[in-house]
Copies of this chain bind each other. A is one copy, B any other.
Amino acid sequence: MPLGFTNQEMKKIDDVVKTRHRIKQGELLFSNGDTFTSLYAIRTGFFKSSISTEDGREQVIGFQMAGEIIGMDGIANDLHSCNAVALEDAEVCVMPFANIEALSREFPELQRHIHKVMSREIVRENSVMMLLGNMRAEERLAGFLLNLVQRLYARGFSQSEIILRMTREEIGSYLGMKLETVSRTFSKFSDEGIIEVKQRYVRIIEADALKKIFNQQTCN
């Protein structure tokens, strides 16, 4: 959060954020069609966001962790257009959007912050489009792992070890591939000594190899 506020200002801003909400693993924070009222800042826990077609196919559109903001899809039509499910017990700050808008008219730093958060989501989705549109299974999974570990590292976790919060099927849905292909690709990386995999535990042994797979697979 942006700094440089007086205590009084800080209090006003804090007030937006005072409502907390706990969500148990497997529960929905919001779902498609719900009326939009608030953004949610994840305090603890791990979420997946997804949309589904009429015929029941699910597309995971993102995984969110502590410190990230969720619910911005709802602003467009005052209705949520995706589902957010907790993949582990979680706690969020409920931030009524009307309050956010009012306060951000008062505090340019907050306004700027909101804009950046939304833009960052647009940029993230741009790179997922690149992943889905242009890359092969190995590149996708390498990119996924690198992104995940980088975000965890920024939060003080290990640079090389991950406990996956999602199933192979959910990873596959996010990356546009089937769970079997996810599993096989994990095994392949493991055979090549790039990572160590044991169920949900993944250790990155050769980060450089992953990076190489991720951004210049063409050289084959």
Contact = CB atoms under 8 A, between A and B. Distances in A.
For chain A, the bracket of interface size reads 35 or more
B108 A108 contact: no
B57 A218 contact: yes
Given A105-B111, A118-B118, A125-B122, A130 B75 contact: no
A133 B176 contact: yes
A129 interface: yes
Contact of A132 (B56, B108, B127, B176): B176
Contacts of A129: 59, 61, 125, 128-129, 132
A34 to B, nearest CB: 14
Interface string A161-181: 000000000000111100000
A207 interface: no
Q: What is the count of identical protomers in the complex?
A: 2
Interface string A47-85: 000010111110101000000000011111100011000
A106 to B, nearest CB: 8
Given A51-B127, A55-B216, A215-B54, A75 B132 contact: no
Contacts of A111: 101, 104-105
B57 A119 contact: no
A127 to B, nearest CB: 7
B126 A61 contact: yes
Interface in A117-147: 118-123, 125-130, 132-134
A130 B59 contact: yes
